[in-house]
Structure 1
Amino acid sequence: IENELDRIDILYGFGVRQMGIAYSQANMLGSGLSEDRDGGLTHFGRRAVDRMNKLGIAIDISHSGDQTSLDVIEASRVPVFITHAGARSVWNTPRMKPDEVIRACAERGGVIGIEAAPHTTLSGDHPHHSIESVMDHFTYCVELVGIDHVAFGPDTNFGDHVGLHDSFTQHLAIGKAHGVVDHPRVPYVSGMENPAECFSNIVGWLVTHGYSDEEIAKVIGGNIIRVLQEVW
């Protein structure tokens, strides 16, 4: 939208019901997570958040910087989403969110969706990216903020997701977002290979690990629907 607030209304007219504040790099609204310095939400960004609140557009801070994320959570009159990320305490890269941001999001009623794109939600226990790595982030976030504020945002593609990242790494600042932590390279996330596999395998994992039907219903969509009902 650059610095044109009315473009939010135009996008709403086209049917857009969710918008991110920044995609890794800074823009007129705030800072992305790949920036060395995060100046937080700008004055224009606050106007944009207010406009999205009034229209009924869900706000996503997955690719926003830490301070910008905190500012958006504070400025928004309704809960916001971290649609696809993980816990930095589990895997220390800028692409993951610190406890402070995850807690702030949950305290205002929001939800974090656990990411599963290749080479994102790794863990010290499972550095070879698999569904077990992803679920290490899930269990950590559930313990941190409670099961009502955690969901899944796998963010996987059909086809060569790693090849896409390699092709666009400079344009999308993917390298800076993922940090410099050494880890094994994989062609796909084992058990979360593509959108057709993700949720059936997630449900299978949750059943195997003793989660109740009520808990599973919350994390595979119920929590997100609850927040969208408030936002929309």
Structure 2
Amino acid sequence: MTIERRAMLAGAAGLAATSLLPAAASAAPDGRKWVIVNALGGLADPNIQGVADPFSPRVLGEAHASGVTAINCTLGYVAGPAEPFEKSVTDVAEMDMLLRRYPRELLKILSIADIRRAKAEKKVGIIYGFQNGAMMGKDAARVDIFANMGVRIFQLTYNPANQLGDGSMAPGNRGLTPFGRDVIERLNAQRMIVDLSHSGEKTCLEAARASKAPISINHTGCRAVTDLPRNKTDAELRLVAERGGFIGIYFMPFLNISGHARAEDVLRHIDHAVNICGEDHVGIGTDGTVGQIDDLQAYEAVLAKEIAERRAAGISAAGERPDTYPFVVDLRGPDQFRKLIGLLAARGYSSRRIEKIMGLNFLRHAESVWGG
């Protein structure tokens, strides 16, 4: 539905916290009964491009096999020639139509109760989220329209600047605009989650202070571990956590300065986020799907074309190149969540801490914003 990168295709409390963990876990916990929330992801078949209905039997089967309970899926305008408001309204309406087509498989998420219902009924919950506030135009009251349509997560900016504030790739780091403050006030009134994933540092810090409700950084890495603009500074991570928010670690090339991220990089960034934010504020937002890629070599050509299109549109980020993957090569496909659970257990994380990271922390955060 969107044309941005992932949908075009298919976090002195410091180091001591980890050092106190046991050296190893005897066995990985069984996460099948857990609520697993991907704070930014999608459902699509990476082997097939441009289909009108992304929810094929294979896509739905792999989603169920992954064990994911709910996914924040990007809808609406991100970049390109489409009129942002019209594009966003159309996307939400089209997703509503698709969910009505698959009522036994998928569930629109409006509340915490809906996420728990999705788990109980063995459905995959779809949380409607935006990744660019451009569709606001000059009218903050448009927030009410999208809230009534069921959008539950609102990211203020993508990588460039917009009328709400500067993104992570905007050169000025000018922060939140007065209109951005108006939009945040409206989002708070509508009990929508304010997401600062792609924002510049000053925009993030100012938004976290301006919001009356805790904010989220749904998909990011830690800049202290890998110094790239799409990763968040310790100041951002710490402030968001201190104000009750949520940080989701992605499975993206920005986790390693080489651009070739692996599972060990995901673990290093989770370690750092837990050390900075505490274990109650860190989760996952992979920024990818759970679909298995049949031919990775053939897929590389699709990725190279995608990067070229993103660069031409002015929406790419430092660290993404034609030879990088928008996923972690050894932590992908339907087994990615089970693999991560096992790796965290082997690292000495307790079952309870892992369960928080895999979903409970997002539930806590969402409940603090959405209500019960």
Q: For 2:137 and 2:175, locate their aligned partners in 1 and report how far apart those are by CA, in whole Å.
A: 17
Aligned residue for 2:310? 168
Aligned residue for 1:190? 329
The CA deviation string for residues 17-46 of structure 1, in whole angstroms up to 9 with x for no partner, is 100010111111111111110221111111
How far 1:188 sits from its partner (Å)? 4.7
Q: Kindly provide the amino acid, as one letter, of the partner of residue 65 in structure 1.
A: G
| CA separation of 1:162 and 1:198: change in aligned 2, threshold 3 A | farther
Bigger-Rg structure (1/2): 2
Q: For 1:42 and 1:33, locate their aligned partners in 2 and report how far apart those are by CA, in whole Å.
A: 15
Q: Kindly provide the amino acid, as one letter, of the partner of residue 192 in structure 1.
A: L
Aligned residue for 1:104? 239
Q: Kindly provide the amino acid, as one letter, of the partner of residue 122 in structure 1.
A: N
Tell me if the contact between 1:154 and 1:198 (Cα under 8 Å) persists in the aligned partners.
no
Aligned residue for 2:361? 223
Root mean square deviation of aligned Cα = 2.1
SS in 2 for 1:112: strand
User: Is residue 178 from structure 1 mapped to residue 343 from structure 2 by the alignment?
Assistant: no
Tell me if the contact between 1:29 and 1:46 (Cα under 8 Å) persists in the aligned partners.
yes
Q: Kindly provide the amino acid, as one letter, of the partner of residue 190 in structure 1.
A: V
Tell me if the contact between 1:191 and 1:201 (Cα under 8 Å) persists in the aligned partners.
no
The CA deviation string for residues 31-81 of structure 1, in whole angstroms up to 9 with x for no partner, is 111111022111111110010001011011000110000010000111110
Q: Kindly provide the amino acid, as one letter, of the partner of residue 131 in structure 1.
A: A
How far 1:135 sits from its partner (Å)? 1.1
Q: For 1:202 and 1:123, locate their aligned partners in 2 and report how far apart those are by CA, in whole Å.
A: 21
The CA deviation string for residues 118-143 of structure 1, in whole angstroms up to 9 with x for no partner, is x221168xx64111111111111111
TM-score (norm 1): 0.89
User: Is residue 32 from structure 1 mapped to residue 174 from structure 2 by the alignment?
Assistant: no
- Aligned ranges for residues 1-232 of structure 1 at < 5 Å? 1-117=136-252, 119-122=253-256, 128-157=260-289, 158=291, 160=299, 162-163=303-304, 164-174=306-316, 177-179=317-319, 185-186=324-325, 188-194=327-333, 196-232=334-370
| CA separation of 1:40 and 1:187: change in aligned 2, threshold 3 A | closer
Q: For 1:187 and 1:138, locate their aligned partners in 2 and report how far apart those are by CA, in whole Å.
A: 18
How far 1:162 sits from its partner (Å)? 3.5
How far 1:187 sits from its partner (Å)? 7.8
Q: Kindly provide the amino acid, as one letter, of the partner of residue 278 in structure 2.
A: G
The CA deviation string for residues 184-212 of structure 1, in whole angstroms up to 9 with x for no partner, is 74585222224x23312111111222211
Q: Kindly provide the amino acid, as one letter, of the partner of residue 199 in structure 1.
A: F
Q: Kindly provide the amino acid, as one letter, of the partner of residue 217 in structure 2.
A: I
Q: For 2:327 and 2:178, locate their aligned partners in 1 and report how far apart those are by CA, in whole Å.
A: 40
SS in 2 for 1:169: helix
How far 1:14 sits from its partner (Å)? 1.1
SS in 1 for 2:154: strand
Q: For 1:226 and 1:70, locate their aligned partners in 2 and report how far apart those are by CA, in whole Å.
A: 21
Q: Kindly provide the amino acid, as one letter, of the partner of residue 137 in structure 1.
A: H
The CA deviation string for residues 106-127 of structure 1, in whole angstroms up to 9 with x for no partner, is 110111100113x221168xx6
TM-score (norm 2): 0.57
SS in 1 for 2:359: helix
Q: For 1:224 and 1:49, locate their aligned partners in 2 and report how far apart those are by CA, in whole Å.
A: 20
Tell me if the contact between 2:288 and 2:326 (Cα under 8 Å) persists in the aligned partners.
no
Unaligned runs of 5+ in 2: 1-135, 294-298
SS in 2 for 1:17: strand
Q: For 1:39 and 1:11, locate their aligned partners in 2 and report how far apart those are by CA, in whole Å.
A: 27
Q: What percent identity do the matched residue pairs reach?
A: 34
Aligned residue pair count: 224
| CA separation of 1:31 and 1:169: change in aligned 2, threshold 3 A | same
